[in-house]
Structure 1
Amino acid sequence: MEENMKLKKLIAGMLLVMMVAAVFTGCKKEESTGEDNSLQKVKDAGKLVLGLDDSFPPMGFRNEDNKIVGFDIDVATEVCKRMGVELELQPIDWNAKEMELNSGNIDCIWNGMSIDASRQEKMNLSEPYLRNEMIFVVAADSGIETFADLADKAVAVQNGSTAQTILENSDVYDTLKEATSFDDNVTAFLTLEAGGCQAVFLDSVVAEYYITENDKDFVILEENLQEEEYAIGFRKADQKLRDEVQKILSEMKKDGTLGEISAKWFGSDITIVE
């Protein structure tokens, strides 16, 4: 009798182990063969939710009617049209962009986002679509013409931007009186205009647009700290969505639509999509 009980316990134990192993193996199989449905989810939802900093002209910003407009917005609108979905714009805290993306609140980050090692590691990036330089803007009558002239001067920069990272890791940074970060570049420019700083460090495409559109007596220093490129950020696993957007961008480049949008905002086709 006792031997029968031991045998039953042994068999029960073996069955339990086999069941656990089967469940574990099934889960692992599901994980390893999990299908990427990122594109289908967007199509099923009927919209692409685009995360952006809505104060980053000319890429994405609010006009006088408080409507979000810009180069990236026009391009994304056309991409969504060809994809058969609506574009939904979702302003986000730029410092929390990765969290917004990975939490599922947005489908992509598309707003003049520079490529760097950290973003390449955390996101699935598109191919570059625009080149950019990181430059200093100063008042025309400031007497500042070179990096050396920035010594003991106060510089404004956008918080959480690649501009901030580049500045803080440069030799110029060590010579500054201070570097103050602001939530957006518009506030940084207003600080420069009010005399609260002597320079703003930011993207050249943003600087050129702001100076021209607002007729400000500012100049851009000839030297730049770094050249970089813009890309669209997707979740790491969302390869199909990323590839579909990339395919449509290439089609827009070939048929001239991308060039037309670029000319509207920059005066010529400065895009680098292949």
Structure 2
Amino acid sequence: MKKKLGILTLVIFLLGIILTGCGQGQKSSDKSWDDIKSKGQFVVGLDDSFPPMGFRDEKGQIVGFDIDMAKAAAQKMGVKVVFKPVEWDGIILSLNNKDIDVIWNGLTITDKRKKQIAFSKVYLQNKQIIVVRNDSNIKNKKDLSGKTVGLQMGSSSETALNSDAATAKSLKNIRKYSNNTEALLDLNQGRIDAVVVDEVVGRYYLQKKPGLYKILEDNFGKEDYGVGIRKSDESFKEKLDEALDSMKKDGTANKISQKWFGKDIIAK
């Protein structure tokens, strides 16, 4: 009996060593943060025609709310940040192919995207608004019946509109654009009747073009913004979340929000 007990104890001991070794191997297999520190930088993929989140100014420099947020986070993490314009419709593929390290560009957290990538903590809350010309007689979603609506291809605006089956079915046409700038330009020219767009984008344009557009009270729902990260990059995600938390606590995020939106819209 003692001999059998001794053998059993030895087996359990050896099994514990094996499991511990496996656990350590899994934990150390994620070297994403070590890789970032080694390179001294991380690469942000973005649509560089998405004001105010990320766009080019008069000098051709990439600026915007998310640009300032990424720079501040990188500073807290002790590394630099590089911005790389990428076609939005294929940006998740670019992330998973390691052409970029993160997607930081007003990226909405959705169940579909969660199957493909991981997300940082929520840092901004937004909603999908309906923008029309100031002289338009469209007052609500029902008035969109028989009208042509524009939106950015592959964006959360497209998802939000299609989720409202009744409204989507009532439309004459949905015209898709490569970016929101083109959609709003066509709205101004009367080529389309309305644009579904992120609130942060719509309000930014309204401030720059006073009296040209108006926002309807109806909208296509609220959404959360997060930074898109590869699922395998757990240690990098952890460090980025720590930086975002720090920015919220010390007022850095609020200061950036005030600069671009005139108020604090940072998710608490």
The TM-score normalised by the length of structure 1 is 0.86
1:45 Cα deviation from its structure 2 partner = 0.7
Candidates 259, 265, 268, aligned match of 2:254 = 259
Give the superposed CA RMSD: 1.6
The verdict on how the C-alpha distance between 1:47 and 1:258 changes in structure 2, with shifts beyond 3 A counting, is same
Q: Which residue of 1 aligns with 2:110?
A: 116
Deviates more, 1:34-43 or 1:151-160: 34-43
**Which residue identity does 2:36 align to in structure 1?**
V
User: 2:179 maps to what in 1?
Assistant: 184
1:97 paired to 2:91: yes
- CA deviations over 1:199-221 (Å, ceiling 9, x no partner): 00111111000111233510011
Identity, in percent, stands at: 40
Q: Which amino acid aligns with 1:177?
A: K
Q: Does residue 165 in structure 1 map to residue 159 in structure 2? A: yes
Rounded to whole Å, the distance in 2 between the matches of 1:211 and 1:31 is: 53
Note the alpha carbon deviations across 1:149-169, whole angstroms, 9 max, x for none: 111000001001111122123
Equivalents in 2 of 1:269, 1:181: separation in Å? 31
Following superposition of structure 1 onto structure 2, how do residues 7-156 of structure 1 map, counting pairs within 5 Å? 32=26, 35-156=29-150
Q: Identify the match of residue 242 of structure 2 among 224, 230, 247.
A: 247
1:71-92 per-position Cα deviation (integer Å, ceiling 9, x unaligned): 1100110111121211100010
1:226 aligned residue (218, 221, 244): 221
Contact 2:132 2:214 in 1 (8 A): yes
**Quick check: 2:30–2:235 contact (8 Å CA) kept in 1?**
yes
Q: Measure the CA separation in 2 of the matches of 1:165 and 1:206.
A: 17
Give 1:187's aligned amino acid. Answer: E
Residues 169-224 of structure 1, C-alpha deviation per residue, up to 9 Å, x if partnerless?
31211010100100000000011011110000111111000111233510011011
Q: Which residue of 2 aligns with 1:197?
A: 192
User: Who wins on radius of gyration, i.e. which is larger?
Assistant: 1
Kindly provide the amino acid, as one letter, of the partner of residue 252 in structure 2: T
TM-score of the superposed pair, with normalisation by structure 2: 0.88
1:112 aligns to what SS in structure 2? Answer: coil
CA distance in 2: counterparts of 1:271 and 1:142, whole angstroms: 32
